[in-house]
């Protein structure tokens, strides 16, 4: 029977993936199939957990859940996953002495559900207490209640800790619970652990007592929490050290918790976190509701950070800063993650989405507001604008695929929930909030947000609630026409997949301009998406006005007037729409208008009359329109000539993105050197400005600009760049005590490490590997680790990849990072592909058969493939290995990305070559 069943499962999987590859599968499951029934609502939990580390790596405990019956039923349904529960120990009472008779306890492991059925009906309005003892393993899966470790450098001993990671749906791995975001409750947590270790949780510790049954153990009791969702519950048992910031009476107590030998790396986070928390209290006009805020640096952590209320957990690289070695980009990274997680204390924790389909309300807002938090600490960085540029470039690329998804999307199971924590939720959500701020105005937008938080705090909301608060405030302040609502406008952006291209066609004889829209796709859809329609805020200026300060929409292009003709004076050399990238859309002009813009850009005395952000959009749009065939590459390359006098970072960032897309397609072709020579000519003028690698700069944008140009110059082998790198690295290798005397320019370490490894051999690789093993600074370790993937020696890369699965020095959280950088290197693609093909089962086992991890590997390989033969190869590979992937969305993404590459190679490769000569 077992073999027959397995054959059926394999056949079914092959059939499913074959349908995915043909693009014909729809998931027919109703979302209600995996949501809990509404018969019960939890009120409070009393959670008692004892943690056993080192000898057992397990936990045991008991949870008492007080709940109210909403609808009469004889069965309590809640979540439980991979827990050991003795059915006979499950008890239900009415909150006093009366024990409700339990007829049966059963489990559905596929749906991760637990059923407690009574012999009598539970009565509507009555309160009950469900008591469940449980046990579980502390695994290394980086989710649920998992283990992490580090080596104490004083005695060379391995130290273990246990910590939670429950978002989105893994609290059920640690204790039975109603594991849905809308089912908020208060939590009283008691943690048992061995003496010598410390326990922390969301709330402040109020009591410690000796264990009556085991003299080596103590119990720590924490004050009852505010109402919160289960995914925000957090606790940890460890020997990590506390570093507390100074605080005034009544202020929130702020602590950084980390390994003791990182003490010198905690000061920055203490000050930054405390300052940003106060800033948010003012921005949201709502006090932080807890008495303390802990931020913990975890040696092993799957994401960058997690916003657990009162106990935010981080990767070490996302929290710790060593002032002696930190580059400004490390500081930017840490402060932006801190700002993101602390923004969640309001957006996500205080007000929580009702269901995961609106996760963008959490992640989009945290991403958006984090830029304001960073800007508060570093007002000279121009960070709000720079972050808007990064978000804009990122989302326009990712959301141009047919296989993309709406911002608000149905998530039907835990795997699907995990997959919507992506660029759409974070980056598109953030940019659409930026767009609303632009068309509503800062005052209206901020006050609308404050009203929303005040109305829904300690509760749950959905996007319509946000639309209502913003509409009410906009109508009150008169910043939105009474005939319009935010919902009418924004539903077109959140409920539809993708974004529009605004088509601008001028009639030069009639002095008019006609506007229309359609969905932008990297591969055109033969008209099937023309029905898509958005409310597009229209902002514009002309060569005569050149006024780029008016970013508030004066009119809209919508579904009722989707072919709008307006007057435009003939003496305007050009017209530009979407002033300062105020909206999330591309703009396609007629050829004459493009040429007028190009004429201005190519004049070194006039190009700055076009705003920096619009130069960014013009560069990115021209690359993208040429990629899908809407704009001749000849026009794009004429526009790009202006870069020889472009002096700002953001337009060069956009140009670098566009050039990289072409370069990756030309890798492994006979014309790769031709493109390299073209890039040397393009880069040389701006490289001459930054060529001295040892010159120190202080301005944030200038530092990032230099880093970008040096990296590009070395990538495209400008001789002087390569020579400087090799000489600097050689000097460092020959210094006494290189770990303490790193003579390399701090801001350029990543570039220098990578290039030295690329052009070096075993000696350079082993030298950098030794530095990695000895480093105690997470940001430095990541720079070293990623650079090791730049090698040109196949056997070194192969060994490195295999070490990600077999070498205890490389942490599980970094395995995909190594694979990414090997895949992206000039010489690593084939090595990475062969590694994936030969060790797929080992990779899957290493990540506990988590499809999301496997799909990342496959997507990275697929993104670099560009022939029909490679497409057939990867299709067959995915069919054979679907058991390990189990992710139709990622399969669709991979195949579509490959089709884009194949189509580009077929249509444009030869044309590009002609422009490079």
Q: What angle do CA 575, 581, 583 make, to 5 degrees?
A: 100
Handedness of CA 169, 220, 193, 92 (dihedral sign): negative
Cis ω for the linkage preceding 168 (within 30 of 0):
yes
Task: Choose among 359, 384, 351: nearest CA to 370.
Answer: 384
Residues of the chain with pLDDT under 70: 1-33, 247-249, 412, 526-530, 849-852, 885-890
Q: What angle do CA 539, 545, 551 make, to 5 degrees?
A: 25
Q: Which two tokens stand for residue 141?
A: 């899966």
Task: Choose among 664, 680, 753, 671: nearest CA to 712.
Answer: 680
For the chain, the C-alpha Rg in angstroms (whole number) is: 29
Task: Choose among 315, 361, 357: nearest CA to 338.
Answer: 315
Cα within 13 Å of Cα(103), Cβ side: 10
Q: Which two tokens stand for residue 733?
A: 């290798």
Question: Cα separation of 552 and 549, whole Å?
Answer: 9
Residue 112 is a catalytic residue: no
Report the length, in residues, of the chain: 917
Q: Which two tokens stand for residue 683?
A: 């880069």
Conformation bin of residue 471: beta by default, left when phi > 0, alpha when psi is -120 to 50: alpha
In terms of C-beta density within 10 A (0-12 exposed, 13-18 middle, 19 or more buried), how is residue 207 classed? Answer: exposed
Question: Cα separation of 313 and 326, whole Å?
Answer: 21
Neighbours of 578 (CB within 10 A): 23
Non-local (6+) Cβ contacts of 737 within 8 A are: none
Q: Which two tokens stand for residue 89?
A: 């120990």
Neighbours of 72 (CB within 10 A): 12
Helix ranges (H only) for 691-718 are 700-715
Question: Cα separation of 755 and 786, whole Å?
Answer: 11
Cα within 13 Å of Cα(460), Cβ side: 16
Question: Cα separation of 322 and 710, whole Å?
Answer: 24
Is residue 741 helix, strand or coil?
coil
Task: Choose among 501, 462, 468, 505: nearest CA to 486.
Answer: 468
Task: Choose among 1, 106, 121, 141: nearest CA to 844.
Answer: 141
- Look at residue 32 in the predicted model and tell me its pLDDT: 53
Question: Cα separation of 768 and 789, whole Å?
Answer: 11
- Look at residue 806 in the predicted model and tell me its pLDDT: 84
The DSSP 8-state label assigned to residue 412 in this structure reads -
Question: Cα separation of 900 and 648, whole Å?
Answer: 31
Task: Choose among 658, 616, 617, 653: nearest CA to 637.
Answer: 658
**Full-model pTM:** 0.93
Q: Which two tokens stand for residue 515?
A: 């506007």
Q: Which two tokens stand for residue 480?
A: 């939105």
Question: Cα separation of 132 and 88, whole Å?
Answer: 10
Helix ranges (H only) for 641-775 are 649-666, 672-690, 700-715, 719-733, 749-759, 762-774
Q: What residues does 542 pair with on adjacent strands?
A: 575
E-strand ranges in 608-654 read: none
Question: Cα separation of 257 and 245, whole Å?
Answer: 11
Question: Cα separation of 299 and 159, whole Å?
Answer: 11
Q: Which two tokens stand for residue 648?
A: 């700002």
Handedness of CA 874, 880, 886, 889 (dihedral sign): positive
Q: What is the arrangement of strands in the sheet containing 205-210, beginning at the earlier edge strand?
A: 99-100, 91-93, 127-137, 58-69, 40-52, 186-194, 217-222, 205-210
Report the run of H or E that residue 206 belongs to, with start and end.
Answer: strand 205-210
Q: Which residue among the candidates 341, 416, 518, 712 is catalytic per the annotation?
A: 341
Helix axes 829-846, 815-824, angle to 10 degrees: 160
Token pair 């657990």: residue? 308
Terminal-residue alpha carbon distance, the chain: 66
Q: What residues does 186 pair with on adjacent strands?
A: 44
- Name the maximum alpha-carbon separation found in the chain: 93
Token pair 């040389």: residue? 684
Is residue 692 helix, strand or coil?
coil
- Look at residue 26 in the predicted model and tell me its pLDDT: 37
341, 311 in Cβ contact below 8 A?
no
The DSSP 8-state label assigned to residue 102 in this structure reads E
Q: What angle do CA 849, 855, 858 make, to 5 degrees?
A: 120
| DSSP per residue, 878-904 | HHHTHHHH--HHHHHHHHHHHHHHHHH
677, 637 in Cβ contact below 8 A?
no
Report the run of H or E that residue 659 belongs to, with start and end.
Answer: helix 649-666
Neighbours of 890 (CB within 10 A): 23
């Amino acid at each position: 029977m077992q073999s027959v069943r397995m054959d059926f499962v394999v056949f079914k999987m092959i059939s499913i993936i074959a349908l995915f590859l043909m693009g014909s599968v729809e998931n027919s499951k109703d979302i209600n199939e995996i949501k809990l029934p509404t018969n019960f609502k939890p009120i409070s939990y009393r959670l008692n957990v004892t943690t056993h580390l080192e000898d057992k790596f397990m936990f045991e405990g008991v949870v008492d859940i007080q709940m109210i019956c909403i609808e009469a039923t004889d069965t309590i349904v809640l979540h439980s996953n991979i827990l050991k529960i003795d059915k006979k120990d499950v008890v239900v009472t009415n909150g006093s002495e009366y024990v409700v008779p339990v007829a049966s306890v059963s489990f559905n492991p596929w749906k991760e559900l637990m059923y407690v059925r009574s012999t009598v009906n539970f009565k509507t309005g009555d309160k009950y207490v469900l008591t469940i003892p449980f046990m579980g393993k502390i695994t290394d899966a980086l989710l649920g209640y998992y283990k992490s470790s580090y080596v104490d450098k004083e005695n060379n001993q391995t130290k273990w800790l246990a910590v939670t990671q429950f978002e989105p749906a893994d609290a059920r791995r640690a204790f039975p619970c109603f594991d849905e975001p809308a089912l908020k409750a208060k939590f009283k947590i008691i943690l048992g652990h061995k003496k010598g270790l410390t326990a922390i949780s969301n709330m402040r510790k109020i009591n410690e007592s000796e264990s009556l049954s085991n003299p080596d153990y103590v119990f720590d009791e924490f004050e009852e929490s505010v109402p919160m969702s289960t995914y925000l519950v957090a606790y940890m048992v460890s020997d990590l050290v506390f570093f507390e910031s100074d605080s005034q009476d009544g202020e929130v107590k702020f602590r950084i918790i980390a390994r003791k030998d990182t003490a010198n790396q905690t000061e920055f986070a203490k000050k930054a976190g405390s300052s940003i928390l106060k800033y948010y209290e003012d921005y949201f006009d709502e006090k932080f509701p807890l008495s303390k805020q802990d931020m913990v640096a975890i040696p092993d952590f799957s994401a960058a950070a997690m916003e657990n209320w009162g106990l935010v957990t981080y990767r070490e690289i996302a929290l710790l800063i060593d002032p002696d070695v930190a580059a400004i980009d490390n500081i930017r990274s840490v402060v932006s993650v801190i700002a993101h997680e602390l923004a969640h204390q309001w957006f996500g924790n205080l007000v929580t989405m009702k269901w995961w389909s609106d996760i963008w309300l959490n992640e989009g807002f945290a991403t958006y507001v984090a830029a304001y938090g960073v800007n508060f600490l570093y007002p000279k960085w121009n960070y709000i604008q720079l972050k808007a540029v990064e978000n804009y470039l990122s989302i326009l690329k990712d959301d141009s695929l047919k296989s993309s998804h709406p911002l608000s999307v149905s998530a039907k199971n835990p795997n699907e929930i995990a997959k919507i924590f992506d660029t759409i939720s974070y980056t598109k959500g953030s940019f659409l909030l930026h767009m609303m701020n632009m068309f509503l105005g800062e005052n209206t937008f901020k006050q609308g947000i404050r009203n929303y938080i005040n109305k829904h705090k300690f509760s749950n909301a959905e996007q319509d609630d946000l639309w209502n608060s913003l509409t009410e405030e906009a109508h009150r302040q008169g910043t939105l026409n009474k005939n319009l609502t935010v919902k009418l406008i924004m539903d077109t952006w959140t409920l539809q997949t993708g974004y529009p291209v605004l088509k601008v066609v001028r009639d030069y004889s009639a002095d008019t301009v006609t506007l229309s829209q359609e969905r932008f796709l990297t591969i055109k859809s033969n008209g099937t998406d023309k029905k898509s329609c958005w409310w597009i805020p229209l902002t514009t200026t002309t060569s005569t006005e050149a006024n780029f300060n008016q970013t508030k929409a004066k009119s809209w292009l919508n579904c009722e007037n989707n072919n709008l003709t307006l007057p435009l004076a003939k003496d305007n050399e050009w017209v530009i729409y979407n002033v300062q990238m105020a909206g999330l859309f591309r703009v396609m002009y007629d050829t004459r208008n493009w040429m007028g813009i190009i004429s201005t850009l190519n004049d070194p005395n006039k190009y700055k009359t076009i705003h920096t952000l619009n130069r960014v959009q013009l560069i990115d749009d021209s690359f993208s329109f040429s990629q899908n065939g809407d704009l001749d590459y000849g026009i794009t390359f004429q526009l790009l000539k202006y870069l020889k006098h472009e002096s700002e970072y953001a337009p060069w960032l956009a140009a670098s993105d566009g050039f990289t897309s072409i370069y990756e397609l030309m890798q492994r072709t006979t014309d790769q050197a031709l493109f390299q020579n073209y890039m040397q000519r393009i880069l040389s003028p701006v490289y001459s400005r930054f060529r001295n690698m040892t010159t120190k700069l202080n301005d944030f944008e200038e530092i990032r600009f230099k880093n970008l140009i040096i990296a590009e110059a070395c990538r495209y082998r400008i001789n002087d760049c390569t020579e400087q790198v090799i000489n600097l690295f050689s000097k460092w290798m020959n210094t006494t005590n290189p770990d303490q005397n790193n003579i390399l320019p701090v801001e350029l370490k990543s570039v220098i490490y990578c290039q030295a490894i690329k052009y070096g051999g075993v000696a350079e690789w082993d030298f950098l590997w030794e530095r990695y093993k000895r480093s105690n600074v997470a940001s430095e370790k990541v720079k070293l680790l990623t650079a090791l993937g730049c090698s040109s020696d196949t056997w070194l890369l192969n060994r490195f990849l295999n070490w990600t699965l077999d070498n205890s020095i490389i942490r599980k959280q970094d395995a995909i990072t190594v694979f990414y950088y090997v895949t992206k290197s000039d010489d690593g693609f084939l090595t990475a592909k062969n590694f994936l093909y030969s060790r797929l089962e080992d990779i899957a086992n290493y990540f506990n058969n988590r499809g999301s991890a496997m799909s990342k590997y496959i997507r990275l390989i697929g993104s670099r493939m560009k022939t029909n033969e490679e497409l057939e190869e990867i299709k067959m590979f995915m069919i054979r290995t679907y058991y390990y992937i189990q992710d139709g969305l990622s399969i669709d993404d991979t195949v579509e990305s490959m089709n884009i590459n194949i189509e580009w190679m077929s249509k444009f490769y030869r044309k590009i070559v002609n422009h490079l000569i």
